[in-house]
Chain A
Amino acid sequence: MEFYSYVNIFETKGLAYLLLMSFLVLGVLLIRYLSAPEKKDSTRTERKSVH
């Protein structure tokens, strides 16, 4: 009968794989964040001319 034993994530490459996946996911999010359409500039207010 086979027994399962948990491996130490620090001793294996498990942590490196998790890091790689988070790098790819966060990289995509960063690019999306930087390339997102312009936010409206809150400091600029358009003045309507009053006649």
Chain B
Amino acid sequence: MSNTAVFAGELKGFLRFLVQELRPRGPWLTPFNIISIPTIIVGLIILYYRFTLGLGSVTNLSQQYPFGFWIGFDVMTGVALAGGAYVVCFVVYVLRLEKYHCIVKVTVLNGLLAYIFYSGALLLDLGRPWHIINPIIGNSFGYNSVLFLVSWHFLLYMTVLFVEFSPTIAEWAHWKKLQTFLSSLTLGAVIIGITLSMLHQSGVGAMFLMAKPKIHPLWYSEYIPLLYFVSSIFAGLSMIIFEGTISSKIFSNLIGPKTHHSHNEIVLGLAKGAAITMFVYYFFLAFIFMHGDKWKLIDTSWGYWYLVEVIGFVLIPCFMFASGVRNKNFGVIRVASVLTILGVILNRQNICLIAYNWNIANKYYPSWQEIVVTLMVVFVEIWVFRWIVTRMNVFSKE
């Protein structure tokens, strides 16, 4: 038999396997499906109008507000919440804390999907989405701009996350040799991934350095890149705790008994990391506040709003994490993780939307279409995540 015939046979077999795997499994009428399917359909209809009639037909974006809810939530917040992937990889592959090895695959998958969907949502927000190729090919682009760095980093980091996750795909497709080869790339990919992540998490914040006159002084600081980087650490850790809690209930049949048993121990470790980084972040904010001599701004409505964010969504969850770890109270840790996620969302929305152009009369409010499309992106990501984890060996079977 010739090589071509063997290859054709292999390809045919793989396509048959793929078709079989694409078939839906499990019940259709679940609460999540009932909510997500109509939202996705409406979102697709809105996107049709967005791409045929332009951004103005479905969004409230304007020249004063070029960054809307799609950028503010999907890109700015989504990237921060995906920070768990580089943190866990650092902990497992660099610090060699093997205890967390069983959550590496699922965390990397979450990171990969978050970057694909949330960075991919950038395409919806660009007036001319086909120009997204410009920074990659170096066409009419400022090489010194932060956006140039961020776009390259997003692209490279997505590739790196895919390389990190690729052994699982090869295992699912029964490509043994390829799996061995891809597994050998993991450590290199992890080191590159951590470097890229640290730089672009701060890079996303650095994009706001040029918007000094537009951002309220309580939120603007020359240290925004540092704050974005540090907040991405506890945002990622909180997201792992939150997702892990849901996954351990919904996909409990896919998780091995040993991993199930060690889940609480892992949550305690992650909560401890979150408490320490939030403590450091809080003091960074306090230093920046004092260094900038912002006392006069605190007794205003903006000041009270700032205190709600800093005390309600940084300091209180920090204490809750610490208390939860000390007393092994997992309920408190879960509530703290939700508060932290809400706090990171609020912080990014404050910088990007709420406290942005704070002194102009025509404020931006997202249209219902923007909110539906954002929900659509989140739901599609969850659908893809569910499809992958129910077919591939993502959760540890031990």
Nearest A residue to B286, CB-CB: A19
Asked if B28 lies at the interface with its beta carbon under 8 angstroms from chain A, I say: no
Interchain CA distance A34-B327 in the complex, whole Å: 10
* Contact status B276-A31, CB under 8 Å: yes
Q: A10-B295, A39-B327, A39-B328 are in contact. Are A34 and B276 (CB under 8 A)?
A: yes
Q: Is the CB of B275 within 8 A of A34?
A: yes
Which of B275, B290, B295 meets A16, CB within 8 Å?
B290
Complex Cα distance A27/B287, Å?
Answer: 15
| Binary per-residue interface labels of chain A (1-45) against chain B in the complex, 1 for a CB within 8 Å, 0 otherwise | 000000000100001100110010011001101101011010000
- B268, closest chain A residue (CB): A34
Q: Is the CB of B291 within 8 A of A16?
A: yes
Known A10-B295, A23-B283; judge A34-B322 contact (CB<8 A). Answer: yes
- Shortest A28–chain B CB gap in Å is 11
Q: Which residue of A lies closest to B323 (CB)?
A: A33
Q: Is the CB of A34 within 8 A of B293?
A: no
**Given known A-B contacts A16-B287, A30-B322, A10 and B293 have beta carbons under 8 A apart:** yes
- A10-B293, A15-B290 are known contacts. Are A33 and B326 too (CB-CB below 8 A)? yes
B379 interface hit (Cβ, 8 Å) = no
Query: Nearest chain-B residue to A30 (Cβ)?
Result: B279
Cβ proximity bits B290-323 to A, threshold 8 Å, 1 near / 0 not: 1101010000000000000000000000000010
Q: How many A-B residue pairs have CB under 8 A?
A: 34
Closest to B271 in A: A34
Partner of A41, one of B272, B286, B328: B328
Query: How long is the Cα–Cα vector from A45 to B275 in the complex, in angstroms?
Result: 30
Residues in B whose Cβ lies below 8 Å from that of A15: 290
Chain B interface mostly: helix
B71 within 8 A of A: no
Interface size class of A (residues with CB under 8 A): 10 to 19
Q: Is B352 an interface residue (CB 8 A)?
A: no
With A10-B295, A34-B272 already in contact, the answer to whether A27 and B327 are too (CB < 8 A) is: no
B325 contacts the other chain (Cβ, under 8 Å)? yes
The answer to whether residues A34 and B325 also contact, given A10-B295, A15-B290, A19-B290 and a CB cut-off of 8 A, is yes
The answer to whether A30 and B293 touch (CB under 8 A), given A19-B286, A39-B327, is no
Which residues from chain B contact A10 at a C-beta distance below 8 Å? 293, 295
Q: Is the CB of B279 within 8 A of A27?
A: yes
Q: For A31, what are the chain B residues with a Cβ–Cβ distance below 8 Å? A: 276
B283 and chain A: residue at smallest CB distance: A23
Q: Within the assembled complex, what's the spacing in Å between the Cα atoms of A19 and B291?
A: 11
Once bound together, how far apart are the Cα atoms of A31 and B322, in whole Å?
9
Q: How far is the CA of A47 from the CA of B272 in the complex (A)?
A: 32
Cβ-defined contact, B276 with A30, below 8 A: yes
Give the residues in chain A near B283, CB-CB below 8 Å. 19, 23
Q: Which of B246-303 contact A (CB under 8 A)?
A: 272, 275-276, 279-280, 283, 286-287, 290-291, 293, 295
Check B326 against A39 for contact (C-beta < 8 Å): yes
Residues of B within 8 A of A38 (CB): 328
Contacts of A33 in B (CB 8 A): 322, 326
Q: Is there contact, CB below 8 Å, between A19 and B287?
A: yes
B326 A36 Cβ-Cβ under 8 A: yes
**A24 CB, min distance to chain B CBs, angstroms:** 10
A residues near B, CB below 8 A? 10, 15-16, 19-20, 23, 26-27, 30-31, 33-34, 36, 38-39, 41
Besides A19-B287, A34-B322, 4 other CB < 8 A contacts?
Answer: A26-B279, A30-B322, A39-B328, A41-B328
Please list the 8 inter-chain residue pairs (A to B) with the smallest Cβ-Cβ separation, ordered nearest first.
Answer: A23-B283, A34-B272, A16-B290, A15-B290, A34-B325, A30-B279, A19-B286, A34-B322
Could you show 12 A-B contacts with beta carbons less than 8 Å apart?
A16-B290, A16-B291, A27-B280, A30-B275, A30-B279, A30-B322, A33-B322, A33-B326, A34-B275, A38-B328, A39-B327, A41-B328
Binding site for A on B (CB under 8 A): 272, 275-276, 279-280, 283, 286-287, 290-291, 293, 295, 322, 325-328
